[in-house]
Chain A
């Protein structure tokens, strides 16, 4: 495993702290187009560009924005399998990252779990990007998947059962981000003995201890997750965007804007939907989250969240003769936009706004509504009506 944070020579952070384990697997030597001996059953899966880049983007977010975490950043461990070696770390202290083989992942997971379990207010963050399949449980495929013809599932792991076991060991809160497909593998569903082992098995005698668990999956049951070639995956893009100030609530009596699992899950889902118009090929992706326990925030922000806004007017020819506007009921300066420039696209602070469009010369009836412009995304196409 590779310790990305704290860097060598840096003093360890005292608990409570956030402990991150990030895994990105794009290189699968035994799957299609791999450079190793082909697996007996490749499941039609091949090499991926996106996971190494996605894991890197996720880790770099924590390195840059660690001040926003609800408790200080304690450690970041990373394992990345890519066709070309990858370095990660703070500027000047980048390290070559080890590959995500089953043995490396097991070692890193054990160390991560031990750290998270040391304090009841620790936050454990687990991120995975790579191939996944499911039956009832979700199975994640590691770099050396398919290496052993006799035990084809040995180098995958059952993340569903693993998380159940982790909940018995950790008293703090868990945030789990799984950027992997969840297509149902019917040949596993209908075959005895095809059970990838967990990284840790639950013990029936142990009690569930964790305070809260938030699992946000890139896609729904039976569905695929997508990453465009050479790009950070759609899910991780949405996740990093959401974490970067595009979600949060300020509870009564609290001075910060808090990001917990419910808020984050909602934001990721909305930000994925924001990308749908660009993918009219039936690959619209819908994330899915399960939040349980008493929510503990992952982030505490000092500023209210921002909202990606897109205002437009229909029919489009009316844009030319319109002025679109947003008036915050907080008393901020009004925002105006000349319609001939096209749709109004901007980031604004969340809140209640008067939103509308008026004609330059009475070509249509003024459109005006008062609405909550809630993070992370507010699209509105106003309809111009004849006077």
Chain B
């Protein structure tokens, strides 16, 4: 048996205690040099991972492992032997080394944005007990028998991932929601060739009594790089459902849902993407749950194998099955709806009951019901009620929810054509902001597939002003006339209650 101990460091550099919410979890892969996989698992910043790898030498029962040449068997036989060994010893083996013992082995940390960090495994011979049985590795006589084995320790820093991309999603989270990323973490070592677009403004919309209202941007803290190519804003949500709106002369007006309950981090960077659809301003939002966010990024990128691996991370499972955290539970709900057959249990119903103000759960419950088949009138009515409840609670946090919202609207269209048309327009106005729900438009009631540019007092494209500068047309059915409060990005540091800093 060979052992690989893998550690993921995240947040420690900030000198604050990394609570369970701040822990980051990412998939790791062990592979040979040609990419053929030996083992896959998840490593978390909360505790290291120990991987046990079966090898041909393990077949030599009762022999001195150091004597003679390595025991050679073909891959199929070795895989079968691994299974037999697991059965007889009652221990889980994480992978099987079927090649030459000297064949190079590599460990990769799989980043949410497809950016991996790789290490070559450098086996160190050891003699003694297996040093530290992993959490998934049962105790047995075998683990305590003095024996020789090879081990390797691999340490990854989450900042290694952020250095590969300018926006760095989950890895920019500090140890807790309020903590600022350190300058080196935030700026990374990425070289930007572009500057932030000129004249960017922000507005924060809140759902108040089922109506979207534009309020002051509740910036808890603001940081921007000295070169003014990155802006990081921590927004206070105060338990409200919030949308962030960004716009500018070069920045199409668009909304981004802010996931979470207490705070949310927004990172504004120039968009380095070559994708012709890419907006010049990239908006990345981070919730309080780095693990959930990583899961949602994997889903958004259709990296299902990584998502499947990450979904087995126990804190994420606990969030869903024990309703411990709404953001993580929502992420897991979307995972199940994407990657598994419909769930024939009341898990979604329980979540919708526990977190009645989160639109995502009513929607997930509705979709699960639809996919299991609306077998009678009561099921149909229940699905309709959930769909309307979702709509009443604002919008889902995640872009995955946008597709499901439309799926529900399509199925429940008969007799509800008006709502279907609203959702259809929202879907056609969809914008890209990673895993967060995003759409183009003038205000939350008027999503639009076209692009509006400019400031609220002077727009290019679709004219939206009807009641004077900085005020939007009041949608029908909304009693309270609302003005649009927006703040120029350049002025944000002065308006924030927290200290703005430049580095």
Contacts and interface: CB of A to CB of B under 8 A. Distances in A.
Interface stretch (A23-31, A91-99, A172-180, A283-291): A283-291
A16 to B, nearest CB: 19
Nearest to A283: B276
A255 B75 CA distance: 8
B162 to A, nearest CB: 19
A387 interface: no
A294 B339 contact: yes
B33 A352 contact: yes
A371 to B, nearest CB: 8
Given A189-B449, A204-B374, A262-B305, A304 B34 contact: yes
A374 B339 contact: no
A286 to B, nearest CB: 5
B157 interface: no
Contacts of A329: 33, 104, 120
Contact of B37 (A251, A265, A295): A251
B484 interface: no
- Interface size class of chain A, counting residues whose CB lies under 8 Å from the partner chain: 35 or more
Contacts of B95: 252
Interface string A197-221: 0000010111110000000000011
A319 B276 CA distance: 31
Contact of A351 (B33, B96, B423): B33
A6 interface: no
Contacts of A374: 35
Contacts of B410: 137, 161, 164
Contacts of B103: 330
B460 to A, nearest CB: 18
Given A250-B36, A294-B339, A262 B96 contact: no
Interface residues of B, number: 55
Contact of A286 (B275, B302, B406, B425): B275
B449 A350 contact: no
Interface stretch (B55-63, B65-73, B257-265, B365-373): B365-373
Contacts of B134: none
Given A249-B37, A252-B96, A262-B305, A205 B373 contact: yes
Nearest to A209: B341
A244 interface: no
B302 A208 contact: no
B374 A304 contact: no
A65 to B, nearest CB: 21
B305 A208 contact: no
A370 B35 CA distance: 14
Given A204-B380, A207-B342, A350 B35 contact: yes
Given A135-B424, A352-B33, A208 B371 contact: yes
Interface in B185-215: none
A233 interface: no
Interface in B367-401: 370-375, 380
B411 interface: yes
B303 A262 contact: yes
A35 to B, nearest CB: 33
B118 A372 contact: yes
Nearest to A305: B35
Between A205, A257, A276, the greatest number of chain B beta carbons within 10 A of the residue's beta carbon is seen for A205
A262 B302 contact: yes
B35 A286 contact: no
A328 B106 CA distance: 13
B245 to A, nearest CB: 20
Contacts of A293: 339-341
Interface in B300-350: 302-305, 338-342
A284 B274 contact: yes
A184 B277 CA distance: 13
Interface in A168-193: 184, 186, 189, 192
A208 B341 contact: yes
A367 to B, nearest CB: 17
Contacts of B496: none
A370 B116 CA distance: 13
B158 to A, nearest CB: 19
Interface string A247-275: 00111110101000110011000000100
B34 A350 contact: yes
A286 B38 contact: no
Given A186-B449, A294-B339, A372-B116, A250 B380 contact: no
A38 interface: no
A285 B108 CA distance: 30
Given A292-B338, A293-B339, A294-B339, A273 B36 contact: no
A282 interface: yes
A222 B448 CA distance: 12
A290 B302 contact: yes
Interface of B: 32-40, 75-76, 79, 95-96, 103-104, 106, 108, 116, 118, 120, 274-277, 302-305, 338-342, 370-375, 380, 403, 406-407, 410-411, 421, 423-425, 427-428, 430, 449-450
12 contacts: A136-B424, A136-B428, A207-B372, A221-B430, A249-B35, A286-B277, A290-B403, A295-B304, A304-B36, A329-B33, A330-B34, A352-B104
The 9 closest A-B pairs by CB, nearest first: A136-B427, A250-B36, A351-B34, A207-B373, A136-B424, A208-B371, A330-B33, A329-B33, A352-B33
